[in-house]
Every structure is written in structure tokens, then in C-alpha cells.
Amino acid sequence: MTNHIYPKFGYLRSKEQADGVVKRHPIVVIGAGPIGLTAALDFAARGQPVVVLDDNDTVSIGSRAVCYAKRPLEIWDRLDCASPMVDRGVSWKVGKVFFHDQLSYQFDLLPESDHQWPAMINLQQYHLEEILVAKCRANPLIDLRWKHRLISLKQPADHATLAVETPDGIFTMEAEWVIACDGANSDTRKMVGAEFTGQFFQDRFLIADVAMKADFPTERWFWFDPPFHPGQSVLLHRQADNIWRIDFQLGWEADPDAERQPERVIPRIRAMLGEDAQFSLEWVSIYQFACRRIDNFRQGRVLFAGDAAHQVSPFGARGANTGVQDIDNLAWKLAMVLRGEAPEALLDSYHEERAYAADDNILNSTRATDFITPKTKVSRYFRDAVLELAQHHGFARPLVNSGRLSVPTPYATSALNTPDEDFAIGEMRPGTNAADAPISVAGKPSWFLHCLGDGFTVVTFGKATDKTGIAIGPLAAKIIRVGRDIEDPSGLLAARYGASPGTTYLFRPDQYVAARWSGFDETKIIEAMLRATGQDSARHPAGQKELAA
């Protein structure tokens, strides 16, 4: 059916398999989906060599992820791949929800201007993965190994032992750390015996990718009970290359084998687009959705990320989007542990923060799915009542839930945060990902997020210090002074950070706020850095020595 030509990356026998020697690698990633590939790029960006194993030798086949949100684009920009994604994809920010044939609710994901990246782009998952693979291949620290299937994993005291199957047979590798990105059916998860529990929804969806020239605007359109598909919902998205994604809700009774046949699919699309519509089918699948999560993201030396750690229904586009943020959270922590700059306990905060985010995503995705597929007759009456009332009354519109689109979950309760002490201006609380803003550097326009992300960064407004860096033992942060190192000509940076002279923020390497103060105080900054790296400053020997000096 498809016209897309999927690349074949080709199998290569590794030297270690050919030589029959067991090699120990610092980091082995299982799975080269969007999350495993992002992991490889982030570890490499933080100076760590990484081996990636994938049981296949191509990209994601068929209809999977479409929408990528602003935060993952910011992360991919840190890894130097966001521009080709945005160029290849289509950007959008407006969503419309229709009931019957009338507009009932509309949202704008980024009503504010002056951000580098769009609220959302749509791009076929296979295009996205091709961009990531090309970046990985160009990076000498990344060793991508196709047709390498993990078949067993054991964890002796200080490493993991992996049995890997290739076209040349089975060989053994060792890893100090394993990053399991092998998807919702993760073999690795079964190998470590972790629980993966949650909820399956009693409904089926026909997901069709359709090639056509159409004049729908580049917006997300969602219908409840439209005349062309009575009693069910429909979702329409534009993708790259004049490919459109159409999701038809079918109900639990639908026969998946019959429904995927073109003679059943084509009339459904015709009913939607009109008798004369010119289109061809690219891909058709039938899905049942689930929301589940692993009990602990860290299982000894194995760290789970992406769908291997959590699965969500796609209403809200929270799958890959949140998986990329798992990696953003993990990569700097593991790199610091490997360099001996932070204790291994820092890795437990990976579970703490990302399980918290996964629960938030699951909550949002479950609520949307329950709205789209009411579980009982009476809950359907409530759902329909919301839709009916929303046509006439503003109050009901925010209750309409066709999916709340992916936004980052602030780590509000994280032990790595230093709580606000003396001021609480604005929304940039500890545990929040940094807001971007236009700035200028040496007279040239740039973006604030480009200043953050290599390591810890202190940003201070005003003239409180002449230093350019701060260090404690192996921990270091660069200091950026607004007015010296960067300029804020529009004032938007100060506005978004509620800043006045003296305001000082400490950002983590993943661009999250670790702490903020109304003045610049080195002792407090050092305490906050220790805390953000999982170290108790009171008991930290280096901390005591330096602080006493």
C-alpha cells in the first residue's frame, strides 16, 4: 500500500563478536526507536560513548507518532536536530473540536509570540527517526548496531551481562549501565521481572494515513459524532508530503481484520471527504489503546525510558514526547555518575521525577480517553451533555476533552529542588523547565535556551558578581550575567522570569530550574548544586571544606 521507501541500515558484524572477546561498555542502549536514538545523542553530547542495539535495521513502519511538542523540540535543538525536523514537518498550534458539524471548542497551544520553536509539529515517525539516525551516524561516540537483538540480561554486582543475537549467532557483552528503550513490549522489562500495569480501553481505532491534496487548514480537527461517522469520533492531522492522518473510532465490537480492508476503509474516508475526493491509502492499522507504567524506572543497572517505561493512549500526543523528556532527565545524571561527579543515588531521582511525569501523562491521557470512550451509559450522557452545552455556553467548552496536548510536567515535589525562600515572583518555580526568550549575545539575536544545557548554569540579573564561574569539588557552574554576557533588549527575559536587579536562578543541565533567589549568594548556590546532584550538603566533605574556607 505504502509509497514510502523505508531505508535499510545494514547489519555489520561487530569486532567484539568477531574476536570472541567480552567487552565492557559504559552505556548500552536497547532499541533504536525515537527514544533510544535520542538517548544515544544526549549521552554523546555529554561526552559518553554509547552502543545502541536494535533488533531491526530500519525505521518505524506504518502509522505511529505524528505530533511533537515544543519541549521535545527544545531538547532536540540542544542535540542539534530540531531544525531539520521543523523544516521537514508542518507546524501548528490551533486545535478545533466539532460536535456534529458545528465548532464547539477551540484552543491555541502557544498564544504568546517570541519563542524559537513552534507549539507543535507534525511529522511521520519514520521521517523523524531518519533524521535522528543520520545524526547518530555522524557522531563518532555512537555505535549503532542493527540486527542485534537482546535475548537475555543478568545483573552481577557491578555491571550487566547481555546476550545478544545477530545474523552471526549469539555473543556476550557487558555494560556498566543499560538504557532500556525497547518499546511497549519491552523484552528487557520481562528480563528484569518488572511490573507493567495499568488500564486497557475497550475501544478500537482505525488509524489511516492518506495521501491527498486537501485544503483543510494546518490545525488539529477533532469531531464528536460527525454526520459522516455517526456515534463515534474522528481526528484529522496534516503530516509532511501531503499525507494526512485520520483516526476513526470504531467501538469495541468492531472486527479488526475486516475493518482494515481497503473496501471498508475507503467508503469511510469518502463519506468524510466527499464523493469526488482524490486520495490514496498509505497505511491502515487498527489499534486498541492502553495506559500503563513500570513499577520503577530504575531496576539496578537498567534504566527504563520511553514506551518501555510507560505507555499512553495517543490522545494528547504524550508518548514519544514524554519519552524524549525521560532522556533529557536521565542523560546528565548518568553522565555525572559515570564521571564520579555525583553519587549513584542521583539516579533514583530519575525514577522520582519521571514516574511523577508519567503519572501525570497517564492521568491526562486516561481522562481524554474516558471522555472519548465513555465507560457507562450514564457517563456517555454526561459527555454528550458537555458537548451539547458547549455549543451554546462558554462554561462547558473547557470540559470538552479530545486530548490535552503534551506539555512538560513540572517536578513540583522533587527532592532535587531547593524550595523558594524569600521570593516567589512568577511561574518559574524550582522544578519547572526554563522558559525561552529572545536575547542578544554580542549584538547578535539569539535565544535564552541556547545559553543553558551544557552543565549547571547560574543566571543573574544585575551586577551582583564579577565571576564567570563557581565550583565545588568536581561540580561547576558557569555564571551568565544579564547585561554582561547576554542582553535582554525586549525585556521579555526579565518579564518571563519575574526578575529585578539581583534575581538569580540556578539551572540544571536539563534546563530545569533548580533554585532561585532575590540576590546572588555563592554559599546558597553551592548548597543548591549539591542538592540538585543528590548530595546532602551538610554531610558532603567537599562542601564542608569549601564552605568553611
Ligand X SMILES: Cc1cc2nc3c(=O)[nH]c(=O)nc-3n(C[C@H](O)[C@H](O)[C@H](O)COP(=O)(O)OP(=O)(O)OC[C@H]3O[C@@H](n4cnc5c(N)ncnc54)[C@H](O)[C@@H]3O)c2cc1C
Which residue ranges make up the site for another protein (CB under 8 A)?
378, 381-382, 384-386, 388-389, 395-396, 399
**Which residue's C-alpha cell is 522489562?**
189
Can you read off the three cell numbers belonging to residue 210?
492518506
Beta carbon nearer to ligand X, 180 or 493: 180
Closest CA relative to residue 416, chosen from 529, 328, 505, 503: 529
Q: How far apart are CA 98 and CA 45, in angstroms?
A: 44
Q: How far apart are CA 151 and CA 411, in angstroms?
A: 35
Beta carbon nearer to another protein, 395 or 466: 395
Interaction of residue 182 with ligand X, rule CB under 6 A: yes
Q: Tell me the CB-side half-sphere exposure of residue 279, using CA atoms within 13 A.
A: 30
Q: Which does 33 bind (CB under 5 to 8 A by kind): ligand X, another protein, none?
A: ligand X
Closest CA relative to residue 287, chosen from 244, 256, 265: 256
Interaction of residue 89 with ligand X, rule CB under 6 A: no
Interaction of residue 35 with ligand X, rule CB under 6 A: yes
Q: Which does 396 bind (CB under 5 to 8 A by kind): ligand X, another protein, none?
A: another protein
Beta carbon nearer to another protein, 5 or 378: 378
Beta carbon nearer to another protein, 375 or 463: 375
Residue 382 beta carbon to another protein: minimum distance, rounded to whole angstroms: 5
Query: What is the phi/psi pair of residue 283, to 5°?
Result: -165, 145
Beta carbon nearer to another protein, 225 or 388: 388
Among 93, 149, 159, 404, binds ligand X (CB under 6 A): 149
Residue 251 beta carbon to another protein: minimum distance, rounded to whole angstroms: 19
**Which residue's C-alpha cell is 523484552?**
187
Q: How far apart are CA 281 and CA 206, in angstroms?
A: 13
Q: Which does 55 bind (CB under 5 to 8 A by kind): ligand X, another protein, none?
A: ligand X
Interaction of residue 317 with ligand X, rule CB under 6 A: yes
Beta carbon nearer to ligand X, 166 or 457: 166
Q: Both ends of the chain: CA-CA distance in Å?
A: 71
Can you read off the three cell numbers belonging to residue 366?
486516561
* Residue-by-residue DSSP string for 175-241: EEEEEE---TT-HHHHHHT--EEEEE-S--EEEEEEEE-----SSEEEEES-TTSTTSEEEEEE-GG
Interaction of residue 118 with ligand X, rule CB under 6 A: no
Interaction of residue 326 with ligand X, rule CB under 6 A: no
Q: Tell me the CB-side half-sphere exposure of residue 306, using CA atoms within 13 A.
A: 25
Query: What is the phi/psi pair of residue 40, to 5°?
Result: -60, -45
Residue 385 beta carbon to another protein: minimum distance, rounded to whole angstroms: 4
Please identify, among the stretches 12-20, 320-328, 380-388, 431-439, the one whose residues bind ligand X according to the rule CB under 6 A.
320-328
Q: Which does 240 bind (CB under 5 to 8 A by kind): another protein, ligand X, none?
A: none
Beta carbon nearer to ligand X, 59 or 334: 59
Query: What is the phi/psi pair of residue 403, to 5°?
Result: 120, 125
**Residue ranges that bind ligand X, judged by CB under 6 A:** 30-36, 53-56, 60, 63-67, 125, 149-150, 181-183, 187, 207, 287, 306-308, 314, 317, 319-321, 323
